[in-house]
Structure 1
């Protein structure tokens, strides 16, 4: 289907979603929508109370989170209009999907891929504990050696400096560095690769593999990442750097490939129990962190924008997608030349509800993009989570970006290549459908 046809489908499906409600629901459709929004508000409030309380209040809040959407469905069913709501939601989902598809073709291309020759002396570091033992389960070391790579499997019984291992490999003639491990290990070796301007290779053997996801790599089967050794292309991407105290060279400091977090999340990451039981640790610590004023008050300066007292701040190497209000999803590009900044300041259930319903338009969330971010505090040191690892750094902490600093070698064919789909924009979809229609009509008249 052409872009014009897809845009028209989006408009038709959106109109049909509203028409179904009006025709079959009548005046009751307004009540249905009101009930739906009330259910969302109660669910958001319940989630906030779950995060900020313990004991019986948390139990009641959890019940509210479950009961609110179920209650909405029961109201719809009792009115005999559940099918109307489901059909309307289905049509609306089709409208949004078609609208985004119509806009994709007009967006800038994804990260530029460059053809490269095969590396002669690749050197790979593998952590056997990452991802619950993916290195052994997928026979990554054996497969990499069969493809001509030198492989060092880390010894779990002793601490080894991966930065030193990578530096020695470069001195010995390695012309590619790679890591099968978590994002923290990836960042350490990526810094060495950037310093020597040699390609870096990511093998998705970690637990969450955020960096691998943004590169479009296969996170289910890390052995497919090894195809970069024989049939690879190269991307030039940005690197984030942290500096504690006085300003420094943008290409020095602690590297982060994903993000650096400050405030609530950084405090949680500092807990010794976090690595063993992340979910339980978060639930136990969040109530005090969110509701009780601590001795540390953050101040974030991103270009001309200053944010005082946010509960949490996330600085990312390239911004997260616009629809991702929590910075937990995907970055559409890794070569935009800008840092992403998200600051959260939510003080009550009403603000939490607004944040859930309005996303980045909510008052509790501030989003920005910039080349440098300065995080200061009324304390000499602050906890910082860097790619999920806990640090304590002296203030102020400066986050900088080195554009195009890292050459990344990836397989030519990757299952999750970002398509750079833009956020939904109904005005653009309508203009696309109508304008292209008029152009076609004009050509036909000629």
Structure 2
């Protein structure tokens, strides 16, 4: 009942802030209120055009786009100051921002807790951890992970940072199992995590995640401490178990997602790892305008869509839907793949995508147990948990429900559920006490 009451009053406060923002603008700006709104809308439109040119063009047009994206809001502020309306505009913006924040909090409270179930299991006796010293800019050394793991009774296998050849971590994991390991763990990036997780799932062994990569999306969704990877090792002595799903693409496991199209093309560039931003800016014009890569077709859940510029298949659907609160998975045990297809054909759609995220018209969202991606080419680039691959068409993605036993610390930060996309209709129903909370009518 507490969640119901909290969601109702947060929704009412949100709507009240929105109404107050309109009232402040109307009272302060008077007859100039319409002009104030028109200037704001025009500025947003010019910003959208500028950002689109900056991303999709090169040379002078790109710099013109950057200039437009900066000059548009600066010009609007100058007009507000010159007209003497800036205090009212500032007050309205503050109230509106507060209303949006309260609205997201209300929707999050209304959705309720959806934490994965924890299981009490016996601790490992012969844990083996594979650690990549180069991962995450050297987190293994920085946080003394190998020393800490050995103190807790684990055997540590350190990858050779000086080796020019890629070491087969799956083979190392299989060797550890053959030698009697009863837990496999990885201190490294998501791509390495997936390879060892597949071995652990194959043998029915618990798997331990140490957040020593660069982004650690899998660790984030498991609720682990990404700021102090050493805390992940507490699971060796005081842990609980989560049963999570494991995705597979063409027989290879993935813990986060598989990307096709635009992002996959970018990841294929050998310069991407060392210079991500410059590589993306260099390649985006060719990918967004006049894209010459393979034309994709994706099928999932009995539906299909043609020629998306990008397709992302995730191990369980992402919760979030806007750029202010990046996508996360509060559940990874639903037995479903999430699918996002994106096609942006101009500045207007690009602006809507930036503002509405997965709710934008340019985005198609589906769920299913299997996703089939085909193309007008024999092989296509694919990014599997950020790793660049090239796979034969058709590419099939499947979900293996609760295939992975993940051991996590009993005491951990926990996964913070992101706010759902702002939906004013649902917000109004929450405020009136007529929305569904935790799946039941209230």
* Same-fold call, TM cutoff 0.5: yes
Q: Which residue is 1:193 aligned to?
A: 200
TM-score, normalization: structure 1? 0.90
Pick one of 171, 175, 186 that aligns with 1:168.
Answer: 175
Deviation of 1:106 after TM superposition, in Å, equals 4.9
* Structure 1 position 41 matched with structure 2 position 64: no
Q: Which residue is 1:112 aligned to?
A: 117
Pick one of 13, 16, 29 that aligns with 1:25.
Answer: 29
Matched residue count: 427
Q: Which residue is 1:342 aligned to?
A: 340
Matched residue of 1:166: which SS? helix
Distance 1:343 1:61 in 2: 26
Aligned runs of 1:386-401 on 2, under 5 Å? 386-401=384-399
Distance 1:148 1:381 in 2: 45
Pick one of 242, 245, 248 that aligns with 1:241.
Answer: 248
Contact (CA 8 Å) 2:323, 2:355: kept in 1 or not? no
Does the C-alpha gap of structure 1 residues 225 and 328 become closer, same or farther in structure 2, counting only changes over 3 Å?
Answer: same
Distance 2:317 2:65 in 1: 33
Aligned runs of 1:281-360 on 2, under 5 Å? 281-294=279-292, 296-324=294-322, 329-360=327-358
Deviation of 1:381 after TM superposition, in Å, equals 0.5
Deviation of 1:190 after TM superposition, in Å, equals 0.6
* Structure 1 position 153 matched with structure 2 position 158: yes
Pick one of 166, 177, 185 that aligns with 1:178.
Answer: 185
Contact (CA 8 Å) 2:190, 2:213: kept in 1 or not? yes
Aligned runs of 1:41-440 on 2, under 5 Å? 41-103=45-107, 104=109, 106-158=111-163, 159-243=166-250, 253-294=251-292, 296-324=294-322, 329-419=327-417, 421-435=419-433
Does the C-alpha gap of structure 1 residues 327 and 107 become closer, same or farther in structure 2, counting only changes over 3 Å?
Answer: closer
**Backbone CA RMSD of aligned residues:** 2.2
Matched residue of 2:242: which SS? strand
Contact (CA 8 Å) 2:325, 2:419: kept in 1 or not? no
Distance 1:90 1:200 in 2: 46
Runs of at least 5 residues in structure 1 that lack an aligned partner in the other structure: 244-252, 437-446
Matched residue of 1:101: which SS? helix
Matched residue of 1:319: which SS? coil
Does the C-alpha gap of structure 1 residues 433 and 207 become closer, same or farther in structure 2, counting only changes over 3 Å?
Answer: same
Distance 1:111 1:310 in 2: 33
Q: Render the CA deviation track for 1:7-38: whole Å, top value 9, x for unaligned.
A: 43233223222222222222333332232222
Matched residue of 1:194: which SS? helix
Deviation of 1:44 after TM superposition, in Å, equals 1.8
Matched residue of 1:276: which SS? coil
Contact (CA 8 Å) 2:121, 2:240: kept in 1 or not? yes
Contact (CA 8 Å) 1:259, 1:317: kept in 2 or not? yes
Distance 1:18 1:272 in 2: 51
Matched residue of 1:332: which SS? coil
Does the C-alpha gap of structure 1 residues 326 and 187 become closer, same or farther in structure 2, counting only changes over 3 Å?
Answer: farther
Matched residue of 1:27: which SS? helix
Moved more, 231-240 or 109-118: 109-118
Contact (CA 8 Å) 1:354, 1:362: kept in 2 or not? yes
Runs of at least 5 residues in structure 2 that lack an aligned partner in the other structure: 435-442
Distance 2:421 2:126 in 1: 42
Moved more, 384-393 or 78-87: 78-87
